[in-house]
Amino acid sequence: MHPILQLQNWLREEKDSGASLAQHAVLSTLGREGTPHARLVAIRDVEQEGLVFFTQSGTRKVAEIQQCPAVSLTFWFERFAREVIVEGECHLLSKAENAAYWQSYPKWAQLRFLSYAATSSQTIPDKRILEDKKIQLEKEYRQGEIPLSPHYCGCVVKPKRFVFYSFRTDALSDVIEYRLSSSQGYTWARLSP
């Protein structure tokens, strides 16, 4: 089985068991001088072409991806005590790709993004500043479409390695690794827990 199908199956099982934020993963990147940094992102697409998430263009994660495209995504499926690690290269989506995703967003999500962008992780003296910006944007865009934010930034992770870890206490845990090879597609192996 292609490892992305296995990830899709585990996501489905986790969601079906009631986990509302299953499609989130910890994105790890490397900064200058090899400083690691990890944070949660919502994964928009899980497809053979890659795993897609969105952020603001001025964030630390985007700067670090541009410096060093090697990243990992770690999913934690609490209901089944499962972990999936995806390692690969991350690239920014084109403007046309961003525009297509932006148009598929509901208006409330576009307005929320515009209320924050481009200030993610900057110091703000008061939350009221963002709330006021949101109110002003709601008035401005009461009618008509909201144009693509220049700060809307999609990223795609092209996997090279997957690890599927099933943690068990009634028996020994199962760990399966998939590696992408240029000649054979994905090959898999059992790893010791």
How far lies 15's CA from each of 20, 100, 126, in Å? 6, 26, 36
Does position 178 interact with ligand FMN (CB under 6 A)? The reply is no
Q: Please check whether residue 54 is in contact with residue 100, taking contact to mean a CB–CB distance below 8 angstroms.
A: no
How far apart are CB 63 and ligand FMN at their closest, in Å?
A: 8
Binding window for ligand FMN (CB under 6 A); candidates: 56-64, 72-80, 84-92, 105-113: 56-64
Which of the residues 58 through 77 are near ligand FMN (CB under 6 A)? 59-61
Residue 110's contacts (CB-CB under 8 Å, 6 or more residues apart) are: 102, 146, 149
User: What is the radius of gyration, based on Cα positions, of the chain?
Assistant: 19
Helix or strand (DSSP H, E) at 64:
helix 60-67
Q: What is the size of the binding site for ligand FMN (CB under 6 A)?
A: 15
* Backbone φ and ψ of 153, nearest 5°: -135, 110
How far apart are CB 181 and ligand FMN at their closest, in Å?
A: 31
The whole-angstrom separation of Cα 114 and Cα 43 is 20
Binding window for ligand FMN (CB under 6 A); candidates: 6-14, 53-61, 71-79, 89-97: 53-61
Omega cis (within 30) before 81 = no
How far lies 53's CA from each of 32, 45, 62, 73, 155, in Å? 23, 7, 11, 11, 5
Binding window for ligand FMN (CB under 6 A); candidates: 7-15, 36-44, 106-114, 141-149: 36-44
Task: Choose which of 2, 12, 37, 95 interacts with ligand FMN (CB under 6 A).
Answer: 37
Does position 41 interact with ligand FMN (CB under 6 A)? The reply is yes
Task: Choose which of 23, 55, 98, 115 interacts with ligand FMN (CB under 6 A).
Answer: 55
How far apart are CB 185 and ligand FMN at their closest, in Å?
A: 30
Task: Please give the residue ranges that form the binding site for ligand FMN (CB under 6 A).
Answer: 21, 24, 37, 39-42, 53-55, 59-61, 120-121
